[in-house]
Amino acid sequence: MKRSTQNSQSTSLLLETAQNTRRQFIRGAGALTFSGVAVAMLGGRSTALAAGTADDAVAQDVRILNTAIAAEHEAVAAYQVGAESGLLEPAVLKVAVAFQGHHKEHVDALVKAVRSLGGQDVHARADYNFPVDRLQRQGDVLQFAAGLERGAVSAYAGAIPVFGNRDLSAAAASILADEAMHWAVLRQALGLDPVPGAFFS
């Protein structure tokens, strides 16, 4: 019980740290700030494309964004499963709900970007066939969520260099940073090293 309480306290502290870091990151406190073009895109306003940008490059960016949207929808659904499982301690449940909120914000931003490019965003699936039968305790839920967050970090890392519009790369980098913090917090809650190495692989 004592160890469980310590884990919950550590998780809450890490969540507070992650939220503060995330706010600084987005606001550009010594880190990334969006250009006017990226802000306009993520705000859902129409943005003139740079001269010479090919239609197929825009179509590719829309496909990448939609892949990210699909993954974010899955994450929202996964955290809902965890929240409704009845397996999470109150402090851990608070973290899960907060992370789900972040993923919802990611969906909103990515959808606006797709629409600003004239694309059609993908919708959440009716069923994700999550391995609910294997979620028997809190650690199982955290391990499941950590796996999804790690996958998200990998996906955004792969998307950043292939966006035709570099402002979208900057936006994806901001989301990647948030996903990485989620992964670190979940690893900490599992009793693992939150940052297992100097490089992600």
pTM of the model: 0.75
Question: Among residues of the chain, what percentage have pLDDT more than 70?
Answer: 73
**Ramachandran category for residue 44: left, alpha or beta (phi over 0 → left; psi -120 to 50 → alpha):** left
CATH code linked to domain 2-189: 1.20.1260.10
Average pLDDT rounded to a whole number, residues 109-114: 96
pLDDT at position 19 over 70: no
Average pLDDT rounded to a whole number, residues 68-73: 96
Neighbours of 143 (CB within 10 A): 17
Grade residue 63 by pLDDT with cuts at 50, 70 and 90.
very high
**Ramachandran category for residue 75: left, alpha or beta (phi over 0 → left; psi -120 to 50 → alpha):** alpha
Grade residue 27 by pLDDT with cuts at 50, 70 and 90.
very low
Question: Looking at per-residue confidence, does 7 or 163 come out higher?
Answer: 163
55-84 vs 166-189: helix axis angle to the nearest 10? 20
User: Tell me: the pLDDT tens digits for 142-154?
Assistant: 999 999 999 999 9
CA–CA gap between residue 75 and residue 199 (Å, rounded): 24
CA–CA gap between residue 83 and residue 85 (Å, rounded): 6
How far from chain centre, in Å, is Cα 110? 11
